[in-house]
Amino acid sequence: MKEYKEGAVQSVDRSLIILEELARHKDGCGVTTLANVLGLHKSTTHRLLMSLFNRGYVKQDLETNNYCLGTKILFLAGALLESMDLRSIARPYIQELANQTQEIVHLAVLEGEESVYIDKVESKRANTIRIYSQIGKRVPLHCTGVGKVLLCDMDFDKVKKLVKEEDMTYYTPNTITNHRDFEIELKKIKEQGYGFDEIEHEEGIRCIAAPVYDRHDKVIASISIAGPTLYITKERFPELIEKITNTAKMISYQLGNFN
Is residue 259 included in any domain, yes or no? no
Q: What is the CA radius of gyration of the chain?
A: 24
Q: Both 52 and 109 in a single domain?
A: no
Q: Both 129 and 199 in a single domain?
A: yes
Q: For 16-56, what is each residue's pLDDT tens digit?
A: 899 988 888 888 899 999 988 888 898 999 999 999 999 99
83 pLDDT higher than 90: no
Q: Domain of 56? A: 10-81
The C-alpha atoms of residue 149 and residue 44 are separated, in whole angstroms, by 51
End residue of a domain, out of 55, 81, 107: 81
Identify how many contiguous H helices and E strands the chain contains and give both numbers: 9, 8
Alpha carbons within 13 angstroms on the beta-carbon side of residue 56 total 6
Is residue 1 included in any domain, yes or no? no
Q: CA torsion 116→120→123→128, rounded to 10°?
A: 40
Q: Could you tell me the CATH number of the domain that includes residue 118?
A: 3.30.450.40
Q: Give φ, ψ of 26 to 5 degrees.
A: -60, -35
pTM higher than 0.85: no
A 10 A CB-CB count for 18 gives 23
Q: Both 160 and 66 in a single domain?
A: no
End residue of a domain, out of 81, 98, 129: 81
| Domain count along the chain | 2
Predicted confidence at residue 81, as pLDDT, reads 61
Q: Could you tell me the CATH number of the domain that includes residue 66?
A: 1.10.10.10
Is residue 128 included in any domain, yes or no? yes
Q: Both 68 and 100 in a single domain?
A: no
The C-alpha atoms of residue 108 and residue 129 are separated, in whole angstroms, by 21
End residue of a domain, out of 52, 81, 110: 81
Predicted confidence at residue 201, as pLDDT, reads 96
